[in-house]
Chains A and B, each alone.
Chain A
Amino acid sequence: MTLFDLTWRNVKNNFQTYFLYFVSMVFSILVFYLFNSINYNQQVTQAVGNKMNFLLSFGSILTAVFSAIFMGYSHAFFTRRRKREIGLYNLLGLQRSQVAKMLFCENLVMGTIALASGIFLGVLFSKLFTMLLLNLMGHYVQINLFISPRAVFNTVGVFLLVFLIISWHAHRIIYRFQLVELFRAEQRGESQPHGSVRLALLSILLIAGGYLVALNPQLVFLFPVYAVLVLGLVISGTFALFKSFSVFALQLARRNKQHYYWGMNLISNSNLLYRIKSNAAMLATIAVLSAITLTAVGMSYSLYFGAGEEMQKYFPFSYVYLEGNLNEDRQVDAVIAAYPQHGVRADVKIPYLELEGKIFGITGFHRTAQIISESSYLDLIRARGVNPDIKLKNPGEAILFAQGNPSNLQGETFIIKNEHPVTQEFQITEAKPYLLMNTMFFTLVVSDGDFAQMTKVQAPAVVRGILVDRQAKSAELSQELNQKFNLLSSFFDQYRWNLEQSGMTMFVGAFLGLVFLLATGSVIYFRQLNEAGKDHLNYIILRKIGVGRREIRRSISRQVMVIFLFPLLVGTVHAVMALSVLGNLLYKNLTIPIAITVVAYTLIYLFYYLLTVDSYDRLVNAPGQ
């Protein structure tokens, strides 16, 4: 038997253990290839240009880095688990270098198989996924089956490098083992961890502090400080939480003897307590990763599905341009008339003034405001078939229409700079979170009298807004108008841009989320199975003294549930927090995207949970043992 035979045999026999690891490896490779192949796809470039290159490159770099970390971690773990086997080879007279060579080959064989499968599946599915992406971005293009040599080259190159580094690392571990150490049984009965109440409290305080900072909108303006503070507090708090609070909680559960001395609780609790020390870092990492994934996916999801409705609020008209002369108006009308499917629903011209100012209450809050008269406001509203719902009572008052959430400016005073001679101040009596006209991001509606006074000093500009039917499908019309005239804003361009950006983000976000999810799920899986292997004897003892298989299975289900649920719960809370803060910043209600993302994530996790319970149970509880 040659070394290669031995290698091949090992790979085959360990396949069961490696299966999930292998799956997530293949998936990472698939995603990496997919991102690359889309990047190099000519048809995609024709359809949407190079806009996506950055995001896709970023996504594939993230995939590669994450996979490298995940594979490195898994490999170190597997190698350590096989200590005894390695020792046996040594004892049987295989030289260390030979064993090392064997392990190196094993990794390489596995890596090659994974690489081949990943690329094969990538090629197979790239057409489907590329079309899915373009669909999300609002382009309906038939994509040909396409093998991108450059993408294959990149994938093979990057992942071979990763495998080489990992294999080299695994191979170094062997030289560090001592032969005696290899045969020493896994250290049993390591001392019971002590939960420090102080550290447990501190972990809660750290996380709460992070949340408080996050919720404090004033600090957003110092973004780097804000981000570092929030992330630092929450992440360190999470690690402390898993390290100490978990021990503390388990020990607290022990105090209640009635509960602790009840059926298998004794066993589940102490199994968890003993392993929490070695599991804490992993679980905390998984919680943080879950939070990031949930936030990213939830965010991109809401961007995507918010894209349509948000647009209406900020882009009430299909086309907007600054009024030049009547001749131009007639040309525009002629162009639109050539597209009968896009009938004109509203057509409005209003005068406005653009002035610099500052808001009194908030120090240094400078804004450029667009000022229009109350009758222009009525024109705009009525043209779109909406009933006006606000009224100015006195001169010197103004109603604000702005992006986002301007309600906190209600009651403030807007002071026009440059010592404007007529009316210098307007009190904002009401603030509305939408715009009256595209590109008028901070509109003040003032009384006709005030407006007339102001126009005596400065002549107003006139803007024309046109609303057409089926504006979301007006690609050709928009293109023609854009070419011929100098438009200030076009609904369709903005709409398409939004759709492209958010569709892309969602696509990349969802795939990255899946890569994270599969990897973290499989890490929990093989760690749990490793523990099952160690606990095997304990379960035999329990069965001998009269614990039924069903009861053992129930206890395993509960024990593994804690391991899966704890990081998921913490991750979800973090993500909900992050998304609600982001929701406030972006003036969106993210409840539904959060709910959908969390449910989807939980379902995939549930699958891993059931798989783990089943394998665990089969390992310690199979009939015939």
Chain B
Amino acid sequence: MNIVLEARNLKKVYGSRGNAYPALDGIDLQIKEGEFVGIMGPSGAGKTTLLNLIASIDNPTGGTIIIDGDYLVTMNEDQLADFRRQKLGFLFQDFNLLDTLTVKENVVLPLALARVPAAEIEARVSRMAVLLGLQEILSKYPYEISGGQKQRTAAARAIIHHPRLVLADEPTGALDSRSSTELLQCLADLNQKNATTIMMVTHDAFAASYCRRILFIKDGILFSELVRGGTRKDFFHKILDVLAVLGGDNRDFI
């Protein structure tokens, strides 16, 4: 299997000298094609920092990131933008849909930006709509649909251009439990049926239990790793065990 993402000795220091605060302190990780990897850890562990670095929204202080053979640190801003557009897909906690565009237009956006011919865009949108159950709401505006529908719209936007890697930042954070389950099932399906590579940051053990592999980070370093073997339920309990050891953020432990 190809390696989609590789990070070596990744470091990020916030603040300046004398007042420096290391958010990431030498992280190594690899994600292979077709994986569904979760990143967990207590608040302030560096989850979001890691995601931002991989998303090329933020620059690392040290180390390298290679995505699909491209070295992120050597690219300039415009190249990075092109890179994000072509190779990454994003899912955010607060959806980040454009409120002046319809659901369909939001989904179409990455393809339009890549200047894909209109006929192909239409074809791909219909496929996405079926895949994520958006047929009924394609012509609605974001303010007219529910949170779960918004996040499925965002998911469609994240994968319509066949990115090499989908980055999800707490995608269930703003959803109720039913919508959460639906969305996670969707992501798991995409991962299994479409072989979409997904990296998801979450602090919710339930959400994490949909992943195939979980990396735990604490205080900026890799703490441990869990690979799903048996059922999702077993996996869920194992995750809880690790989190108990990890300590800190335990509000989702009930």
Indicate, yes or no, whether A interacts with B.
yes
Instruction: Enumerate chain A interface residues (CB-CB to B < 8 A).
Output: 188-189, 192, 257-258, 260-267, 270-271, 273-274, 538, 541-551
Check B121–A546 contact: CB distance below 8 A.
Answer: no
Assess A263 versus B115: contact at CB under 8 Å? Given A544-B57, A548-B81. yes
Closest partner residue, chain B, to A272 (CB atom) = B100
Going nearest first, the 10 A-B pairs with the smallest beta carbon separation are A546-B85, A546-B84, A548-B81, A189-B143, A257-B118, A258-B118, A261-B112, A270-B100, A189-B99, A541-B96
Tell me which residues across on chain B come within 8 A of A264, comparing CB atoms: 113
Check A266–B109 contact: CB distance below 8 A.
Answer: yes
Nearest Cβ distance between residue B86 and chain A, in whole angstroms?
A: 7
Asked if B78 is at the interface of the complex by the 8 Å CB criterion, the answer is: yes
Tell me which residues across on chain B come within 8 A of A550, comparing CB atoms: 78
Assess A545 versus B85: contact at CB under 8 Å? Given A189-B143, A267-B98. yes
Task: Say which residue of A188, A189, A261, A270 sits within 8 Å of B111 (CB atoms).
Answer: A261
A260-B112, A544-B96 are known; give 15 further A-B pairs, CB within 8 A.
A258-B117, A258-B118, A261-B116, A262-B112, A262-B115, A266-B108, A274-B100, A538-B99, A541-B98, A544-B57, A544-B90, A545-B96, A545-B157, A546-B110, A548-B82
Instruction: Enumerate chain B interface residues (CB-CB to A < 8 A).
Output: 55, 57, 77-78, 81-86, 88, 90, 92, 96-101, 105, 108-113, 115-118, 121-122, 141-144, 157
Check B81–A547 contact: CB distance below 8 A.
Answer: yes
How far is B81's CA from A549's CA once the two chains are assembled, in angstroms?
8
Tell me which residues across on chain B come within 8 A of A261, comparing CB atoms: 108, 111-112, 116, 118, 121
Cross-chain pairs A/B with CB under 8 angstroms, 16 sampled: A188-B99, A189-B100, A189-B142, A192-B141, A257-B118, A260-B112, A261-B111, A266-B109, A267-B101, A544-B57, A546-B88, A546-B110, A548-B78, A548-B81, A550-B78, A551-B113
Task: Say which residue of B81, B97, B101, B143 sits within 8 Å of A546 (CB atoms).
Answer: B81
Nearest Cβ distance between residue A540 and chain B, in whole angstroms?
A: 8
Tell me which residues across on chain A come within 8 A of B122, comparing CB atoms: 257
Check A545–B109 contact: CB distance below 8 A.
Answer: yes
CB-based A-B contact count at 8 angstroms: 89
How far is B115's CA from A260's CA once the two chains are assembled, in angstroms?
10
How far is B107's CA from A545's CA once the two chains are assembled, in angstroms?
12
Nearest Cβ distance between residue B87 and chain A, in whole angstroms?
A: 9
Check A266–B117 contact: CB distance below 8 A.
Answer: no
Tell me which residues across on chain A come within 8 A of B83, comparing CB atoms: 546
Nearest Cβ distance between residue A175 and chain B, in whole angstroms?
A: 30
Check A270–B113 contact: CB distance below 8 A.
Answer: no
How far is B105's CA from A262's CA once the two chains are assembled, in angstroms?
12
Nearest Cβ distance between residue A563 and chain B, in whole angstroms?
A: 16
How far is B1's CA from A364's CA once the two chains are assembled, in angstroms?
99
How far is B157's CA from A541's CA once the two chains are assembled, in angstroms?
12
Task: Say which residue of A265, A273, A538, A541 sits within 8 Å of B112 (CB atoms).
Answer: A265
How far is B101's CA from A266's CA once the two chains are assembled, in angstroms?
8
Check B81–A551 contact: CB distance below 8 A.
Answer: yes
Closest partner residue, chain B, to A256 (CB atom) = B118
Tell me which residues across on chain B come within 8 A of A271, comparing CB atoms: 100
How far is B81's CA from A171's CA once the two chains are assembled, in angstroms?
47
Tell me which residues across on chain A come within 8 A of B98, comparing CB atoms: 267, 270, 538, 541-542
How far is B85's CA from A561's CA once the two chains are assembled, in angstroms?
26
Tell me which residues across on chain A come within 8 A of B116, comparing CB atoms: 261
How far is B2's CA from A127's CA once the two chains are assembled, in angstroms?
80
Tell me which residues across on chain A come within 8 A of B90, comparing CB atoms: 544-545
Check B115–A549 contact: CB distance below 8 A.
Answer: no
Check A538–B85 contact: CB distance below 8 A.
Answer: no
Check A266–B143 contact: CB distance below 8 A.
Answer: no
Tell me which residues across on chain A come within 8 A of B86, comparing CB atoms: 546
Closest partner residue, chain A, to B117 (CB atom) = A258
